Every structure is written in C-alpha cells, then in structure tokens.
Chain A
Amino acid sequence: MSVTEGEGIVIVGAGHAGGSCAAFLRQYGFTGPITLIGEEPVAPYQRPPLSKAWLKGEADAASLALRPESFYAENQIALRLNARVERIDRAGKAIVLGGGQTLPYDRLILATGRRARRIPLPGIDLEGVLELRTAADADRLKAALSSPGKRLAVIGGGYIGLEAAASARALGAEAVVIEKETRVLARVARETLSTFFQAYHRAKGVVFELGAGVAAIEGERGQAVGVRLSDGRLIDADAVLVGVGAVANDELAKDAGLETDNGVVVDLLCRTADPAIYAIGDCTRRPLPHYDRIGHLESVPNALEQAKQVASAFTLRPPPAHEVPWFWSDQYDLKLQIAGLPHDATEIVVRGDPAPTLGGARFAVFHLTADHKVQAVEAINAPPEFMAGKQLIQSRKPVAPDKLADLSISMKEVAA
C-alpha cells in the first residue's frame, strides 16, 4: 500500500511523543496523511529502559520499539528516518529538510525532545566520553562495559547517572559518581531521598565524589583514561559518562519566530502562537495546572498526555484530563515512584523508615503546603503511598501530617 506524504499532519521528532501521537491519531480515526520525521536511524522506541534493562542486556530491540516496524506502513504513517529538518517556512506552511527538499503541512507538530547538556571541559571530545540519550549512546556505553572489571566514571549524580551506575555494578563494572553538589539528585529531590540513595549505592559498591569539581577528562592517544578533579586527584576510568541534564531542542521553533524559553512555549492544549503549529513532549515549556506556573516535564507520561491532547484536538474528541506529573526510576531492587512537584511545599512528612536496609527498604516522603495539601510524594518500594499521594495531589484534599506518618493507618484510609 502506498503512503501519502505531506499536506496533512507532519510530526517532527520520532521519539516517544511523536511516535505515540501518530499512533493515537490513527487509533482515534484520523484518515489524512501523517508524516513522522526522525533524525535517528530507528523507528520510535522507549528511552527509559536504555539506562536499565537495555544496558544490562535484559531487553532486545523488539521490546524496546514502541510499535513493530510494520506498524507504520500498515497504518499509512510515512516514517522518514535519518532525516533532519533544517527550518520551518511558516508563511509557506512547509518544512525544509536537510537535502533542501520541502514538505508541505496543514498542521505541524514539533516533538523534537531534548538532548544531553554538553559541558565545555578539556578532554570532552576524547573517545570513551559518552552521554546517554539515544539507543546508539546506550550501545556505546554497553560496549564500554562489556567485560567485567571495567571502570565507569559518571559526571553528574542525577537519575541517568545513578541508573547507569546501578546497571554498571550489575554488569560487574566499578562505578564512581562525581557530583558537584554535596548530595546526589540535588536538582530533583530532597535530602532524605539523596541520603538514602547514596547509602544504598555505596552498599552496592558505588563510590561517590560529592562536592567535587571536574577540571578535565584526561586521555591517552585520544582515549579517555580518567577524570581529573578540581582538587588534583585523578579518577581512573575506561569510560566517562556525562549526565548533567538536558537542553530542549527548540531551535526550529525559535528560528521560525515562535516563543521559546529552554523549550517551545505552548498552552495546555499544546498550541504555539501559530495556529498551525503544536509542540509536545520533552521539548515543550508548558503550564503546570496543579502548580500555577509554567515549566517543563521530562517524562513519558507527559509525552503521552500531550500526544493525546493533540490527537484528540485533531479528531474532535474531548481532551484528556490534565494529569498530575509523575516519574519513576528503577535502581537495583528499588522502585522509585514520584508524583507531583515539590513547589511551595513547607513541610516534609516521612512515612516508613528511610534507613537504607538492603532488601526491604520501603518508605515515602510527602511534601505538604502550609495548609497540609500534598504537593508531591517520593515513594521507595511503596506503591500505595505513591498511588494515594497522586490522588491527594489531584484532589487537593488536606491531610493530617500525623495520620500520614502513622503506618498503622492504611493509605486508603488516609486518602479517603
């Protein structure tokens, strides 16, 4: 069956948001042309397993793929891989591709995602200096850790760094995490959680250099051999993973005169100021309805929610509800689930014991406003606390802190 390109919906970015949006459009009955353009050589896939199951060799390409290869042709979705969009011609309602070819659109959806932040560091271009964003990145990291006894240095103690360190340990590699703040997860979590993760990772053999500046990555014959700290010490490494956050791929929008602010600025329905152009997923800067502010959400749930917003709008379905933001991470046998954002929280309630006992760790940290509404919950191996916390964030129902901390009262009762 031939697939018509252009003059329908053109989606730039074939990640989780773009790929899901194309699928939802078909699921919701959109019959016009859909073109999905991706820079990577592979069809849309799931990124979260890259630092976990994929790195450990527990997932294959088929399970990583969002949909099977055949799905796109079967659903008349023109999938263009290895293709880069150079610019948007808003007046002509067309995009210009790398080779100079233009592709017209009725409606354009930007789903360009984020890319790993690069830091200007001597030695950053050496072989063996890696980032972790794409499947190709993950393959390089996997190859670097392929034989036991390899040493991985991670610059940045965020989720990517910690998940990679955990996977490296599972593969029999040594792992050193270098973080400039005095605790890991400093940007995204409170102290209780940072302390817990540090202790847990240490017990699993991960070494931390906290409050440590990086002066350079040292190399020999073009290959990275270690990380030179600001205090002069050298951390030996066979591979260096740089995981220091991500920046929005918002240049296309910016160059086309659309508003950007480390992300394409959109409203709750994913609209930009141009009625023909929408943006979804990690690349957006969006209103956060539960928190009366704007921000960006780097998460699969956000990518899916925004993909559904746009697909619903184009097929005249009622828009989906705005969900409480949530995130998850797996490290060793730990399941971390986070709901909400800790904005405007003045009180912390810990339910359970945050001591890092190996096997059996289970607790949750609730972030409350002054009037005892739950703003966020961070739950370790504690699904009821996560689920109830998420419902409480949505309902805005105040809770008594002493009840929340009391393990003899079930979360169902607390949330009721």
Chain B
Amino acid sequence: MPTIIYIDHAGTERPIEVKTGLTVMEGAIKHNVPGIDADCGGACACATCHVYVDPDWTDKVGSASAMEESMLDFAEGVEPNSRLSCQIKVTDDLDGLRVTTPESQH
C-alpha cells in the first residue's frame, strides 16, 4: 500500500498507508489525521480539504480540473502547489507523497 506523508502546519509528519483508489483526503479522514476537514465528503463542493503538495511531487500528482481551480480560487492561503486533496487519487506512483495541511480550512 502506498504511504502518504501528511505534514501539519506545525511540521509534524504522519506517514499513513492509504489504499490505492482512495483519495488523499479519504486517507486522512479515515485515519483521523488532523488538518483536513472535508465537510462535503469529497464532492469537490467545499474546499475544506486544501493541501500543499510537496514541490518534488507536483508533476506526478498532476494539475487541478477547472472545477477544482475555481473552488481553490476562493480558499485561504492558496499557493501554486495548492490542491484539493479529495481530487487526488492515490496510486502506487504516489508512494511517499508529501502533503502539508494549512493552518485552517475555514
């Protein structure tokens, strides 16, 4: 199973094994990783699962869809490496992916 490394705002790293096919958001929620709220459960409707993708991984993770872009546009503290983690599907290629959660999702 690929390991996703969730890093919180304070720098604490939490490596979590996430089943392929789940999203990076689901991996966090199901293991009670703090920092990702995902109020809408993954419907790309709320922008409360915002993460910063480690710059070494942005190419592998790919870019956001137009719908995701327009949600991100209104989230707090958006950077070029911002993504909604409900839109990143975990694959074997993403083993070792590092994502950092923002200070607040609201």
Contact = CB atoms under 8 A, between A and B. Distances in A.
Nearest to B33: A27
Q: Summarize A's interface: helix, strand, loop or mixed.
A: helix
B70 interface: yes
Nearest to B39: A301
Interface of B: 22, 26, 29-32, 34, 37, 39-41, 43-47, 67, 70-71, 73-75, 106
A383 interface: yes
A328 B32 contact: no
Contacts, number: 64
B106 A321 contact: yes
A65 B32 CA distance: 13
Contacts of A301: 39-40, 46
A184 interface: no
A320 B106 CA distance: 9
A337 B48 CA distance: 14
B32 A71 contact: yes
B32 A75 contact: yes
B30 A304 contact: no
A339 B13 CA distance: 34
Nearest to B69: A383
A127 interface: no
Contacts of B44: 335
A40 interface: no
Interface stretch (A31-39, A96-104, A384-392): A384-392
Contact of B32 (A67, A384, A386): A67
Contacts of A328: 40, 43, 45-46
A388 B74 contact: yes
Given A26-B32, A67-B30, A67-B32, A300 B70 contact: no
13 contacts: A46-B41, A63-B22, A71-B30, A304-B37, A328-B40, A328-B46, A330-B43, A335-B43, A335-B67, A384-B70, A386-B45, A387-B47, A387-B70
A23 interface: yes
Contacts of A391: 74
Interface in A55-94: 63, 65-68, 71, 75
B41 A300 contact: yes
